Structure 1
Amino acid sequence: MNRHINKVAVVGSGIMGSGIACHFANIGVEVLLLDIVPRELTDKEAARGLTLKDKGVRNRLVNDALTKALKSKPSPIYHKSFAKRIQTGNLEDDIARVSEADWIIEVVVERLDIKKQVFEKLEAHRTPGTLITSNTSGIPIGFMSEGRSEDFQQHFCGTHFFNPPRYLKLFEVIPGPKTKKDVLDFLISYGEKFLGKTSVLAKDTPAFIGNRIGIFSIMSLFHTIKDLGMTIEEVDKLTGPVIGRPKSATFRTVDVVGLDTLVHVANGIGANCPKDERHELFQLPDYIDKMVKESWLGSKTGQGFYKKVRKEDGSSQILSLDLEKMEYRSQQKAKFATLELTKSIDNVIDRFPVLTGGKDKAGEFYRKSFGALFAYVSFRIPEITDALFKIDDAMKAGFGWEHGPFQIWDAIGLDKGLELVEASGQTVAPWIHEMKEAGISSFYTVKDGATYYYDIPEKGFVKVPGQDGFIILDNIRKSNEVFKNSGVVVEDLGDGILNVEFRSKMNTIGGDVLAGLNKAVDMAEKDFQGLVVGNQGPNFSVGANIGMIFMMAAEQEYDELAMATKYFQDTMMRMRYSSIPVISAPHGMTLGGGCELSMHADKVVAASETYIGLVEFGVGVIPGGGGSKEMALRASDHFRKDDVELNTLREYFLTVATAKVSTSAYEAFDLGILQKGKDVVVVNKDRQIATAKAYAKLLAESGYTKPVPRGDVKVLGKQALGMFLVGTDSMEAGRYISDHDKKIANKLAYVMAGGDLSEASYVSEQYLLDLEREAFLSLCTERKTLERIQHMLKTGKPLRN
């Protein structure tokens, strides 16, 4: 059956329901969001003379929930206009409309009796053959469909989104007793291709895969912290970015999610998994019991493991919970010698042998934690899944881990991992020993650019399914490398397309990266058909290497700085005016120079989660790698007959002057950074490089011709410059901007106006680049600019001076 999802009905509009509705709207699907009818009027409704029969009252719960979701930060929706794709209703007046849906998703309260009542009502209106799923996080799928028709049960299963649905990639699909295979196959495929998820087929076991392992990991830490006499700050320091986990680490994450939510899932596992060999770990420590009784549940109650308070001077302070005294105190900075040893190790996966070998409390913590984790995941196969890669996928996509348990074990080494397990007082499942005895010492291997995993029944390596639509750079880097320096690796993607991958710290753009870009263009022009600029790190690029700029400016090496700036500009222009198509594939943070590079590509294939913008004002300069020029050019291209051209130019000016950064790729179109009709967005980041390659190949085979440099950029001269200068004077007088802000804005105004030309004129790109470079260099001589750059280097935050 060739299924298409044009309309989805989401039943239940709470945090999860509204979030799921928004994400379907994100991908262009029409959504019907339903909830119950309120049982009584609010005081405001009563005062207005409304009754429970009024439509606005009857839809109050669903409308209020959706409004709250749309106002939340981070936003659940890519672009505010996408909310128009969601219609609301209630389960009495509008339930018949579920007959129009291609997929019905139940997201009501986690009570089996209520879910069964909802399914009974839905079946009366559901069209046979329609997909119907539950977003339950733990109720057995088989129980929910009892008593329903054969068609209902064949098309019913669990589809567990993780919260927030837009941002967390895990999509667990859990079959019911009678779910048809083609239904499961469709949902797995749809989750990956359209929803941008990592789809994982799970077994119908308590908490499925992600929460079973994730909650175990957290509960294990809850006990370990007491055993080792550690503070919550110490544990959060050790379980955050240093090991590839989110900044919120462990205890800040629990505060955000809610301690009650975690306890609910842990209690469910404890009650329903009596044969779990670590069953005792799911019993709550005394301090957790006390926190629950005191309603110290985290952000939702104003205090949890951390508490935000106001000091006498009006400023805020974050306090930490002392688990011994159960009192809040000032935070204590955590510092470990073991962590110092990893500062020079950029790749997270390479840190684990060092961390587990530490001689201090951190090393002991890691040995104990990973030993327990390795033992636990070994016993979950085949209980919760038959394939070990699904556990790794679930933890990466659902809990934000950069590497899953078996990948970490591979990094440490099989034998070393077994030592950690033994030292922690645990054992591993028999299949681990069988694997070792067969001479196999890793859980994964790479062959011909594809990842293979150790399959227990096969007693050998099997290809991880679903890779055909992906290009995994980690898998091809060594075998397909055609050039490398300290800043980039250039890989042959096949079919005549090269990829240049940034490998600098945080993918900053410095001399080696620029040299690598030029080398990649040279090679592509000579022997290939096209070039992709893309990587699969956390972020595309945080911009130019401002440390290098600071050193040159501080040493007053202005000639060298001028040469470096021109080299940056020339490289960006080479991206545009090469004889082969250049495709940029931005994702995550794409700031400053990373944004400029994308703006000069022939086409941008952006991941939906791309936060892109020209942010140079934050370090006291204007965009100096062609960004200022490009915004003036794009404003010129949008001038229309009888338009007020100054208004168009002002919009582009403000985008740069206010350092606007999109909160999704779709917002970048509004900012003029991405271009409608030219640039495209992909929801699944894993498919981004493959998609970019396809576009490069298409352009090359469609008769790509080297573009002609522009000499027709219309600039407005003194007319625009005067408007901008009056505006910055007013902003400074109103104390909205500082004197240095004004100076930077005026420099940008001079460039985007094309200088102080007496009338509107047509100029070349190079003319604007020369103005841009001169303004950039002059700002680099300013003391306040150097202060801003230095502050950014030290703190990662902008300085207003």
Structure 2
Amino acid sequence: MNKHIEKVAVIGSGIMGSGIACHFANIGVEVLLLDIVPRELDDKEKAKGLTLEDKVVRNRLVNNSLTTALKSKPSPIYHQKFASRITTGNLEDDIAKVAEVDWIIEVVVERLDIKQKVFENLEKYRKPGTLITSNTSGIPIKFMSEGRSDDFQKHFCGTHFFNPARYLKLFEIIPGPKTAPEVLEFLNGYGEKFLGKTSVVAKDTPAFIGNRIGIFSIQSLFHMVKEMGMTVEEVDKLTGPVIGRPKSATFRTVDVVGMDTLVHVANGLYENCPKDEKHGLFKLPDFINTMMENKWLGSKTGQGFYKKVKGKDGKSEILTLDLDSMEYRSKKSAKFATLELTKTIDKVVDRFKVLVGGKDKAGDFYRKSFAALFAYVSHRIPEISDELYKIDDAMKAGFGWEHGPFQIWDAIGLQKGLDIMKSEGEEPAAWVTEMVAAGMDSFYSVKEGASYFYDIPSKSMLKVPGQDAFIILDNIRKSNEVFKNSGVVIEDLGDGILNLEFQSKMNTIGGDVLAGLNKAIDLAEKDFQGLIVGNQGANFSVGANIGMIFMMAVEQEYDELNMATKMFQDTMMRMRYSSIPTISAPHGMTLGGGCELSMHADKVVAAAETYIGLVEFGVGVIPGGGGSKEFALRASDTFKKNDVELNVLQEYFMTIGMAKVSTSAYEAYDLGILQKGKDIVVVNKDRQIATAKAYAKLMAETGYTKPVKRKDIKVLGKQALGMFLVGTDAMEASHFISEHDQKIANKLAYVMAGGDLSEPTLVSEQYLLDIEREAFLSLCTERKTLERIQHMLKTGKPLRN
């Protein structure tokens, strides 16, 4: 099916509808967002003398919804200017405009009668061949298209986005009785390639895949918490990052999503899945019913399992709901001996064996919860999916789990999982027993860089489809390793391209990483054609190893610190001036040194969800790995005839001085970190390494030439320095910044002005690097800088002193 999506219509502008509209705008698609017409005037409209016929009134609901969405945090849109791609209207005056779109997405209230009425009206104007889908989270798809034309039904199915649409990757596609296969194939590819999603074709069963397993998992914990006498804090401690789940874990997640949303889906499952072997678990426990009666729905009502209050001293405190007394109390710390055993285990997948082997309440909890989960997912095949990998994909993409149920089972061991299930009174599905009897010992395997899964009908391992566009570093790391040290692994991606992958904690950049980066450049220059610096961890890099800097500074080992800083600078310059193309592939947090590395690559292939910035002010220093120099250079390159050059330089100065971090890769262009015409953005992070490889190969094959070192950087000297010093003095006097903030800002001013030169002068990069390093080192001797670094190391938060 060769179809191009240039314009979509989103019907319904609530939180979900506006979010979907924003995400299509994110990827450059024109959006028509429609909602109903208000039936009465509000007070403001009455005061203005407006009538129900005025356009501003008729579009009030849709405009208010979109405005609210655009102001929300985290933002649903990559860049506020992208909102101009969305046109609003109403379902009476503007419904005929759906004839101009390529895809209509219905996101109205979850009532079948209302959805059917909306589809009846849409069909009057929809042109044949237009895709039409519903974002329902639970209503059977087969009922929605009843009575519609053959063309409508052929192009109709469910496309279930998860909220928030920008951030959660799951895109469930649910066929109706007459959906054409080519429509499913198109949507599956479009979701992955253009929307940046994990596309999963699901069956038309209650709550589909993600919510069926997700709600079971939450409901199972709801019942278990009372049975085991556990607190809200204990469950959230055990079901958060330690097992690769979001920080919000279980109860905080329910507060954020809304208890009413959870209850709606759980009740739907209880009513519509009478034959489910765990049917009783979908019945709400008493404490949930009490919370619903009290309207303790979570964040939207100001209280749920947690409640934020202000104490007598004016400070905020988070209270926790006691599930026995149903009263709020101060939070209690949750500690378990089993969790202590995992502190030295960096990889989540390696923790599961330890967790289920625990001898305390935590061990009991994990054995019970995993036994129930493993049994449940095994019995859902083939009911909700024929392939087990789809269940794992749905839980990872829809609920933010790092590993799906079958992957966790593999990590524990297939037989060990069965033993735990037996001890907890759980029964696996028959196909699992048959699989073990046939000599299989895992659900997944890796062969020649590709993932394979156990296919139940054929009783064999089949290749997971759709991998050809991806490079999965986990799959090739061992077989394609060229070099390894404690900080990096260098892999051969084929076609003459190397990849350097950080392996340090939080992907921090220390001496081992810098040594590895130099080694990678050596290898690439000798035997390869290009180098990518990329990884598939949660974040690209949180920056330089500030713990190492702190220790050197405290011990007053200034010569060693000077050498370490120079090594960082020199390595960044090697990134820029090597004889092979270098590409950085940042994603997630890309801070400080990670940002500096990206700015020195020949090209950046950034994931859309890249939060990048020079944040060194937060720890009391200036960027010392070439970041301050680079911004002075980029300001110089931006100067144009008749520019007020001081204003241009000041913008770059303020970006560092305010420690600005982009909330998406597109915002990084505004900050001057990414460069238009050179750096690119990919929406699907899974494609990032493959895309970077393609660019590295293209650059090498089209005659890459080693750049010439720059000696033509225009710095403004005293003219700029004076302006900056007057500004920081005024800000300190007005108490906008502290005395130490002023000292840091003045050091940065000196570097970006090129020193106190008497007139504008052309200087070299090395000149700027030398004064940058000098300024960085001088700040490392300051007590208040050391206090800031220590505070960051202890709390993860900046200190203002």
The normalised TM-score by structure 2 is: 1.00
1:551 aligns with 2:551: yes
Q: Which amino acid aligns with 2:569?
A: Q
1:767 aligns with 2:777: no
Q: Distance in 2 between matches of 1:307 and 1:393?
A: 33
Task: Report the Cα offset of residue 313 of structure 1.
Answer: 1.5
Q: Which amino acid aligns with 1:193?
A: K
Which residue in 2 is equivalent to 1:265?
A: 265
Q: Deviations over 1:345-373 (max 9, x none)?
A: 00000000001101111111000000000
Q: Which amino acid aligns with 1:288?
A: I
Task: Report the Cα offset of residue 423 of structure 1.
Answer: 1.9
**Secondary structure at 1:168's aligned position in 2?**
coil
Task: Report the Cα offset of residue 392 of structure 1.
Answer: 0.2
Which residue in 2 is equivalent to 1:277?
A: 277
| Aligned partners of 1:233 and 1:334 also within 8 Å | yes
| Aligned partners of 1:102 and 1:130 also within 8 Å | yes
Q: Distance in 1 between matches of 2:44 and 2:429?
A: 61
Q: Distance in 2 between matches of 1:113 and 1:202?
A: 23
Q: Distance in 2 between matches of 1:669 and 1:320?
A: 42
Q: What does residue range 476-491 of structure 1 map to in structure 2 within 5 Å?
A: 476-491=476-491
Q: Deviations over 1:722-779 (max 9, x none)?
A: 0000000000000010000000000000000000000000000000000000000000
**Secondary structure at 2:479's aligned position in 1?**
helix
Q: Distance in 1 between matches of 2:771 and 2:336?
A: 49
Q: Which runs of 4+ in 1 moved over 4 A?
A: none
**Secondary structure at 2:642's aligned position in 1?**
coil
Which residue in 2 is equivalent to 1:654?
A: 654
**Secondary structure at 1:622's aligned position in 2?**
coil
Q: Distance in 2 between matches of 1:296 and 1:157?
A: 35
Runs of at least 5 residues in structure 2 that lack an aligned partner in the other structure: none
| Aligned partners of 1:455 and 1:461 also within 8 Å | yes
Q: What does residue range 151-550 of structure 1 map to in structure 2 within 5 Å?
A: 151-550=151-550
| Aligned partners of 1:608 and 1:666 also within 8 Å | yes
**Secondary structure at 1:33's aligned position in 2?**
strand
Q: Which amino acid aligns with 2:689?
A: I
**Secondary structure at 2:477's aligned position in 1?**
helix
Q: Distance in 2 between matches of 1:593 and 1:184?
A: 43
Which residue in 2 is equivalent to 1:682?
A: 682
Q: Distance in 2 between matches of 1:487 and 1:48?
A: 65
Q: What does residue range 558-577 of structure 1 map to in structure 2 within 5 Å?
A: 558-577=558-577
Q: Distance in 2 between matches of 1:702 and 1:719?
A: 43
**Secondary structure at 2:711's aligned position in 1?**
coil
**Secondary structure at 1:800's aligned position in 2?**
coil
Q: Deviations over 1:355-397 (max 9, x none)?
A: 1101111111000000000000000000000000000000000
Q: Distance in 2 between matches of 1:483 and 1:151?
A: 57
Q: Deviations over 1:243-290 (max 9, x none)?
A: 000000000000000011001000000100000000110011111110
Q: Distance in 1 between matches of 2:338 and 2:292?
A: 34
**Secondary structure at 2:148's aligned position in 1?**
coil
Q: Which amino acid aligns with 1:3?
A: K
Which residue in 2 is equivalent to 1:705?
A: 705
Q: Distance in 2 between matches of 1:572 and 1:47?
A: 62
Q: Distance in 1 between matches of 2:280 and 2:779?
A: 63
Q: Distance in 1 between matches of 2:488 and 2:113?
A: 57
Q: Distance in 1 between matches of 2:43 and 2:689?
A: 55
Q: Which amino acid aligns with 1:96?
A: A
| Aligned partners of 1:580 and 1:704 also within 8 Å | yes
| Aligned partners of 1:37 and 1:91 also within 8 Å | yes
Cα RMSD after superposing both structures:
0.4
Task: Report the Cα offset of residue 2 of structure 1.
Answer: 1.2
Q: What does residue range 40-55 of structure 1 map to in structure 2 within 5 Å?
A: 40-55=40-55
Task: Report the Cα offset of residue 314 of structure 1.
Answer: 1.2
Task: Report the Cα offset of residue 426 of structure 1.
Answer: 1.1
Q: Which amino acid aligns with 2:113?
A: D
Q: Deviations over 1:287-335 (max 9, x none)?
A: 1110001101101111100001111111111000000111000000011
Q: Distance in 2 between matches of 1:420 and 1:731?
A: 63
1:604 aligns with 2:621: no
Which residue in 2 is equivalent to 1:140?
A: 140
Task: Report the Cα offset of residue 596 of structure 1.
Answer: 0.1
Task: Report the Cα offset of residue 47 of structure 1.
Answer: 1.5
Q: Deviations over 1:499-543 (max 9, x none)?
A: 000000000000000000000000000000000000000000000
| Aligned partners of 1:188 and 1:201 also within 8 Å | yes
Q: Distance in 2 between matches of 1:751 and 1:272?
A: 67
The normalised TM-score by structure 1 is: 1.00
Q: Distance in 2 between matches of 1:221 and 1:711?
A: 64
Q: Distance in 1 between matches of 2:486 and 2:277?
A: 48
Which residue in 2 is equivalent to 1:741?
A: 741
Task: Report the Cα offset of residue 595 of structure 1.
Answer: 0.1
Q: Distance in 2 between matches of 1:312 and 1:424?
A: 48
**Secondary structure at 2:654's aligned position in 1?**
helix
Q: Distance in 2 between matches of 1:366 and 1:501?
A: 32
1:618 aligns with 2:615: no
Which residue in 1 is equivalent to 2:639?
A: 639
Q: Distance in 1 between matches of 2:421 and 2:170?
A: 28
**Secondary structure at 2:4's aligned position in 1?**
coil
Q: Which amino acid aligns with 2:442?
A: S
Q: Which amino acid aligns with 1:700?
A: A
Which residue in 2 is equivalent to 1:76?
A: 76
Which residue in 2 is equivalent to 1:103?
A: 103
Report the more deviating stretch, 670-679 or 42-51.
Answer: 42-51
Q: Which amino acid aligns with 1:433?
A: T
Task: Report the Cα offset of residue 602 of structure 1.
Answer: 0.1
Task: Report the Cα offset of residue 718 of structure 1.
Answer: 0.2
**Secondary structure at 2:445's aligned position in 1?**
strand
Which residue in 2 is equivalent to 1:595?
A: 595
Which residue in 2 is equivalent to 1:13?
A: 13
Which residue in 2 is equivalent to 1:758?
A: 758
Task: Report the Cα offset of residue 424 of structure 1.
Answer: 1.9
Which residue in 2 is equivalent to 1:37?
A: 37
Q: Which amino acid aligns with 1:52?
A: L
**Secondary structure at 1:64's aligned position in 2?**
helix
Task: Report the Cα offset of residue 420 of structure 1.
Answer: 1.5
Q: Which amino acid aligns with 2:367?
A: R
Task: Report the Cα offset of residue 49 of structure 1.
Answer: 1.1
Which residue in 2 is equivalent to 1:691?
A: 691
Q: Which amino acid aligns with 2:198?
A: T
Q: Which amino acid aligns with 2:415?
A: D
Q: Distance in 2 between matches of 1:352 and 1:152?
A: 48
Q: Distance in 1 between matches of 2:424 and 2:211?
A: 23
Q: Which amino acid aligns with 1:272?
A: N
Which residue in 1 is equivalent to 2:58?
A: 58
Task: Report the Cα offset of residue 46 of structure 1.
Answer: 1.2
| Aligned partners of 1:34 and 1:90 also within 8 Å | yes
Q: Distance in 2 between matches of 1:794 and 1:137?
A: 42
Q: Distance in 1 between matches of 2:284 and 2:680?
A: 49
Q: Distance in 2 between matches of 1:315 and 1:290?
A: 29
1:579 aligns with 2:576: no
**Secondary structure at 2:793's aligned position in 1?**
helix
1:67 aligns with 2:80: no
Q: Deviations over 1:123-162 (max 9, x none)?
A: 0000000000000000000000000000000000000000
Which residue in 2 is equivalent to 1:799?
A: 799
Which residue in 1 is equivalent to 2:27?
A: 27
Q: Distance in 2 between matches of 1:325 and 1:424?
A: 29
| Aligned partners of 1:368 and 1:423 also within 8 Å | no
| Aligned partners of 1:35 and 1:89 also within 8 Å | yes
**Secondary structure at 2:34's aligned position in 1?**
strand
| Aligned partners of 1:169 and 1:198 also within 8 Å | yes
